[in-house]
Structure 1
Amino acid sequence: MDQELNQFIHYLADERRYSNETVQAYQRDLDEFVQFIRLSQATPLAEISYQDMRLYLAHLNERGLAPNSISRKLSALRSFFRYCLKQSYIEANPMELIQFRPKEQRLPEFFYEKEVDQLLKAAANPAIPYPLRNRAIVEILYATGMRVSECCQLRLEQVNLTVQLIRVVGKGQKERIVPLGDAAVFAIQAYLDQERPDLCAKKDLSLSSDRVFLSDKGQELQPAQIRRLLNRIVKEAGLNIAIHPHKMRHTFATHLLNHGADMRSVQELLGHADLSSTQIYTHVTKDRLRKSYLAAHPRAHRQTKED
């Protein structure tokens, strides 16, 4: 099974052009399954049955994993076995009849506009090295809704500050064009002019990078470093808010919809292939709309006595 698994992982990376993080997640989930199969019984790939998959599902449930985690692991297995069936490694898909309770869809967390202002001010804190870079990162995440991995991979040639447009390369190497607002353009230009040259100088010229954002050591910035940076910004400023990079993406979409953007435009800006992925944000905006209505309308609540 190892050979087929390796070929599938190469297929995801080379043909589907999945990000390194996504490929690694598939690798971990599939390795777990292979380990389970080998511990229970040394079953060749072609002989794995529906019953084996039922046993594995029971094993995942017994471990007390969250529904989202189980759903993700099963999704990886479905993709793997579909690939194996297409390549004629197996004659039947053992996952075909496996069903699992749909994962509970949690509403996306987002920042209120005042919290974004606080975060942007905190990002420019000179107590944290390279405040112009830090401010530019927060500005661009909020201005474009790009994923943290897309931000790390952003190259100079993809950013046009003159026409205020950015070319984002997303999942599967799909490209989308996203506008940049004045605040983001100003922050990025300040960083490029004043701090990026110093960061580039820290590195051997033969290893120079065309990535927009560089680490404190002048190397290509990694997603984990942005996560740590955002946590430090919040901690140093004493802000009582939880943060993670994807929360900025949720905030971007929610604020656009709150201010009247249409769903299709937000879908295109986020790079969602399916509109259903974007529609989750309507639950957030509808909830906000309901609260505003209940707070503002004079007859929104039951009257204590007849008028």
Structure 2
Amino acid sequence: MDPGDLNRAVRTYLDHLSVERGSAANTLTSYKRDLRRYLEFLDGQGVTRLEQVQQATVTAFLVALREGDKASGHPPLSAASAARTVVAVRGFHKFAVRDGMTTVDPAAGVKPPTPAKRLPKALPLADVEAILAAAGEPGTALALRDRALLEVLYGTGARISEAVGLDVDDLDLTDPEAATVLLRGKGGKQRLVPVGSYAVDAVTAYLTRSRPGLVAAGTTAGAGGAMFLNSRGGRLSRQSAWAVLVRAAERAGVSADVSPHTLRHSFATHLLDGGADVRVVQELLGHASVTTTQVYTLVTVDNLRQVFATAHPRAL
């Protein structure tokens, strides 16, 4: 193989990520898309070999990402999306040097743009409680499932993919006062999270009074031991779980935009508001770095500032 050929080098890098690194399917898809765009840019610049790529080339690519390209149909990317693409490019060039394809890393000095820090939107506790109370349309066979699903989402801080991916055996309800759930997060990482009494009660009611009927009436094969089932007895999808939450919010009269991640944000914010240590919240959320979790402390400080401004006699 010609070590300087860019297309072959990219294929080798993607094979490395898939086979040797065992990267997740979603990660591979993103890297393929980002590096394909990079190769298109290089081709447009007349660059076809690794040794032709310079730091200025990679910088120009970053500028093109942020400005967009009408000719190729690429819209301008946000700082976050451009940063993700540059990370893929940096990883590729670093690999090319380490694998002996070239001796120079032209991307080493190109830093990804820093995305604007967006504060997560958490719901007031009263809104969360209203949504949970409205979960499941009264009189329907799926009401208990819907309540259990939302109680698990808010009670454990699980991502929607983690919740719908649960199997019955992932929950240990042997001792209701020490119940736990095994959540499978990004990159196959697992974490054990405690389950509170409200979620335990809702899950127990669903498992004993609703799920057996869904299994018996099932027309869909392959659900196995899935925790949350649809009306056909198959595993509940992310889209259907999202719809459960939206309908509950509408019935509760909550006007704010609500998504499954809103419950996760609310879980973290309410914990910190209650005095939880940020590193404990990090473990519960499954964040690899405490820096990711610390954005929630900004929300908490903002809440404190508002209370101070309205309650302290000399705040204003």
Q: TM-score, normalised by structure 2?
A: 0.83
Tell me, what secondary structure is at the counterpart of 2:134? helix
Tell me, what secondary structure is at the counterpart of 2:225? coil
> Which digits, 9 at most, give the CA deviation of each residue in 1:187-240, with x for residues without a partner?
1122222332333342455x2422222334333334344334433433455431
2:282 to 259, 267, 284: 267
The Cα RMSD (Å) is 2.7
For residues 199 and 20 of structure 1, do their structure 2 counterparts lie closer, same or farther at Cα, with a shift above 3 Å needed? farther
Tell me, what secondary structure is at the counterpart of 1:249? helix
For residues 178 and 291 of structure 1, do their structure 2 counterparts lie closer, same or farther at Cα, with a shift above 3 Å needed? same
1:181 corresponds to: 196
> Are residues 1:142 and 2:154 paired?
yes
2:63 to 58, 61, 64: 58
1:305 corresponds to: none
Deviation at residue 170 of structure 1 after TM alignment: 1.9
1:37 to 33, 37, 42: 42
Q: In the comparison of the two structures, how many residue pairs are matched?
A: 300
Q: Which runs of 5+ in 1 are unaligned?
A: 302-307
Would the aligned equivalents of 1:18 and 1:171 in 2 still touch at CA under 8 Å?
no
Structure-2 separation of matches of 1:149 and 1:11: 26
Deviation at residue 33 of structure 1 after TM alignment: 2.3
Q: Which runs of 5+ in 2 are unaligned?
A: 1-5, 69-75
Aligned ranges 1:1-307 → 2 under 5 Å: 1=6, 4-6=9-11, 8-9=13-14, 11-12=16-17, 16=21, 18-41=23-46, 43-45=48-50, 47-63=52-68, 64-126=76-138, 130-163=142-175, 164-201=179-216, 202-203=218-219, 207-235=222-250, 237-301=252-316
Structure-1 separation of matches of 2:12 and 2:235: 28
For residues 288 and 157 of structure 1, do their structure 2 counterparts lie closer, same or farther at Cα, with a shift above 3 Å needed? same
For residues 11 and 123 of structure 1, do their structure 2 counterparts lie closer, same or farther at Cα, with a shift above 3 Å needed? farther
Would the aligned equivalents of 2:145 and 2:206 in 1 still touch at CA under 8 Å?
yes
Deviation at residue 275 of structure 1 after TM alignment: 1.5
Deviation at residue 140 of structure 1 after TM alignment: 0.9
Deviation at residue 284 of structure 1 after TM alignment: 0.8
Would the aligned equivalents of 2:161 and 2:238 in 1 still touch at CA under 8 Å?
yes
1:304 corresponds to: none
Structure-2 separation of matches of 1:214 and 1:86: 47
Deviation at residue 129 of structure 1 after TM alignment: 7.0
Would the aligned equivalents of 1:17 and 1:171 in 2 still touch at CA under 8 Å?
no
Segment of structure 1 superposing worse, 256-265 or 210-219:
210-219
Segment of structure 1 superposing worse, 278-287 or 35-44:
35-44
